[in-house]
Chains A and B, each alone.
Chain A
């Protein structure tokens, strides 16, 4: 939304480029998350296939979904997250992938594919690009000063008003994403994270209301900078974003050290999926692009750049050690077993969740 204005201009520019690209007919219009690819991958793709990539970015699933539902986006490849994808498939937004045009699909990782099939049965409409978790990012030194502990390993730090009261002065941010935070609160309470029971959702709401006074801001992207600059000491956020903050802090060399943890109670797991809109104009090129991304060396290059795990088994041999061996990126089996996913809410539950969230963030 905030970036929507900037994005709107970017989109206008992109569509102008798209127009001029019509002349050379071989083009693919890709709409992906911001900061989510190594640019050289796009250049290499054009070199290898002769297909020009018109690349455009968004920063929230809601923006992507609204565009897709309005139709006529002009995009050939988009990257929604699992629960959003599932609903969009239902609305008829996507076309089925032609697996014959995707020989590299054999490189994919069955562990991830079983999970994504819960959103997209048989993985008929999508393949995985990246996946990650929603956990805790924190400033190691500040947490030591305030709480006197070396590392965080439990959601208790976030959901216990006592510790939050202490963290209040150094600053806590939380994702402004009810479909991430409410399931996490449910998991902490030992309830089903994917619950649709209003009574259980109310329990999660109460838990969050108790810590609400100590959360400085609910926002889904500002915490990257805030963590990196040392403005805050803790953020509930997406794994890759926290790693970005960690790298920025390391580059700035101001003594800020950032760490990410998947707490022992488990965390939500999410999947960003490559899919082709039903009204895409360059279907063959879109398949070529997706097939290219599934090459082991390309998937490895992408993960090495963004610090997210990918759904490509064959790429693992080519990953940097610091990526593959980081349990926060590629969790070990015990942690994997504790990760959970949530399926899309029906409209009634969605309204309940949004209403509950408004009450939590605004006190209304």
Chain B
């Protein structure tokens, strides 16, 4: 369905609109809205419902390893029987063992700290890019995107080579004489922060850049003319104007970092407890698809619900501002 709308939309908007006027324009407008909704429905809502359904079932030694599975052969009554076997036991199980709660909390804390550092490093970069001469900006933008040309996995592996006790960083520091014993960074929390900040920095820089680039810098000149010191000019003008970029950047870093699995697995030590690893254990080691689905559903709710509240609050604030 999504494909057909994709195919018809451009032609409709190009040809029909000037000739037939508002009626077709309205239809095109609606089609344009349908595409993202169809996208969300097929790639987000349907998979979510499947996961939710599995989270209500029980494990079994079978293919697939849970029961009940929907079997249309049983007819309506068969489906009804399957429905009655569903239960929320798996969600109760998650509350019984503090492991899950601790894993959620530790993931959120790790993601929050990483997001903070990404903002701290990303903001000056984005600011510098936005204030650079217009001719250089495309090049700078290119440089930010360039790392994506190498596989994410390989770049994380490269950090092992940099951070390990005999790695490049330690060799360099010992050579400069700053330290005489190698620093143990790899397999610690610090390595995870470094990995996450490095990997997600472009997602922070790009929205910040787009917000800062649109900013009217004569406002700062005006502030300075009126005797405002640079630091308070930053907090009074630049920072509020960059707010949409900061929010977008932080969400783009925080959300994937919370569920991150590869970086803690490769760079972190065994003692790092993150929800991605817990989910992996449930799914692969325990073969408990229902419990791991329940973990995934809770993780999703944890990320989506606060965001919805946040968006609502923002919409309200905007209305009041007007």
A residues sitting closer than 8 Å to B (CB atoms) are: 1-2, 5-6, 60, 62-63, 65-66, 68-71, 87, 90-93, 176, 178, 215-219, 229, 231, 347, 350-351, 354-355, 357-358, 361-364
Contact = CB atoms under 8 A, between A and B. Distances in A.
A350 B286 CA distance: 6
Nearest to B99: A364
Contacts of B273: 362, 364
Interface stretch (B55-63, B209-217, B237-245, B302-310): B55-63
Contact of B272 (A60, A90, A362): A362
B271 A92 contact: no
A364 B274 CA distance: 11
Contact of A176 (B59, B61, B270): B270
B270 A217 contact: yes
Contacts of A229: 166
Given A218-B270, A355-B97, A362-B271, A90 B61 contact: yes
9 contacts: A68-B63, A69-B63, A70-B63, A71-B64, A347-B61, A347-B286, A358-B278, A358-B281, A361-B271
A341 to B, nearest CB: 19
Given A92-B63, A229-B166, 6 more contacts: A1-B265, A70-B64, A91-B65, A362-B270, A362-B273, A364-B103
A357 B282 CA distance: 12
B167 to A, nearest CB: 10
A65 B271 CA distance: 26
B320 interface: no
Nearest to A279: B63
Nearest to B262: A2
B312 interface: no
The 5 tightest CB contacts between A and B, nearest first, are: A62-B284, A361-B270, A218-B270, A362-B273, A354-B285
Contacts of B262: 2, 5
Contacts of A218: 270
A63 B284 contact: yes
A319 to B, nearest CB: 35
A364 to B, nearest CB: 5
Contacts of B187: 216-217
A231 B61 contact: no
Given A1-B265, A2-B262, A66-B283, A347 B270 contact: no
Interface of B: 59, 61-65, 97-99, 102-103, 152-153, 164-166, 187, 261-262, 265-266, 269-273, 278, 280-281, 283-288
Contacts of A87: 61
A93 B269 CA distance: 35
Contacts of A63: 284
Nearest to B65: A69
Given A2-B266, A358-B99, A351 B62 contact: no
Contacts of A62: 284-285
Nearest to A219: B270
B70 to A, nearest CB: 15
Nearest to A179: B285
A68 B164 CA distance: 36
A358 B59 CA distance: 20
A91 B286 contact: no
Nearest to B269: A217
A110 B152 CA distance: 48
Nearest to A363: B271
A2 B153 CA distance: 9
Contacts of A364: 98-99, 102-103, 273
Contacts of A347: 59, 61, 286-288
A65 B287 contact: yes
A5 B280 CA distance: 14
A176 B284 CA distance: 13
A68 B63 CA distance: 8
B240 to A, nearest CB: 40
Given A2-B265, A6-B153, A351-B286, A215 B270 contact: yes
Contact of A93 (B63, B166, B270, B287): B63
Given A362-B273, A364-B102, A5 B61 contact: no
A60 B269 CA distance: 19
A351 B99 CA distance: 13
Nearest to B66: A69
A194 B164 CA distance: 37
A5 B281 contact: no
Given A2-B266, A361-B270, A364-B99, A91 B153 contact: no
Given A69-B65, A91-B65, A364-B102, A354 B165 contact: no
A225 B153 CA distance: 17
A91 B61 contact: yes
A68 to B, nearest CB: 8
Nearest to A9: B151
A178 B65 CA distance: 21
B67 to A, nearest CB: 12
Nearest to A360: B270
Contacts of B270: 176, 215, 217-219, 361-362
A177 to B, nearest CB: 9
Contact of B165 (A2, A231, A355): A231
Nearest to B103: A364
A68 B61 CA distance: 12
B98 to A, nearest CB: 8
Nearest to B278: A358
B207 to A, nearest CB: 25
Nearest to A84: B287
